Amino acid sequence: MKQDTNEMELLKGIGISQECLNTYASAVSEAEQMMVLKQWRCRLLKEIHRKQKLLDQIDYLIHLKQKEGTV
């Protein structure tokens, strides 16, 4: 499928891996492109959840320190 330059720049801007970008660019159908986008979305969401867990742990430590009165 022909790829719009803006579309490819947008994909690069969201941090899509070169491997996924190549797969997306060589897709022969919109269904294949959608699959790549949905897979990348899933990866991003997992990363968000991982980062949220880290934030929760930091918040817990802050809470403990405040409760102890050390802060």
* Confidence (pTM): 0.76
Tell whether the model's pLDDT for residue 1 goes beyond 90. Answer: no
Q: 16: how many CB neighbours lie within 10 A of its CB?
A: 21
Instruction: Report, as an integer, the average pLDDT of 4-30.
Output: 91
pLDDT tens readout for residues 20-71:
999 999 999 999 999 999 999 999 999 999 999 999 999 999 999 999 986 5
Residue 33: domain span: 5-68
Per-residue model confidence (pLDDT) at position 2? 64
Domain count, the chain: 1
Tell me how far apart the alpha carbons of residues 71 and 56 are, in angstroms, rounded to a whole number. Answer: 18
- Angle between the N-to-C axes of helices 18-25 and 5-13, in degrees from 0 to 180, rounded to the nearest 10: 160
Per-residue model confidence (pLDDT) at position 70? 64
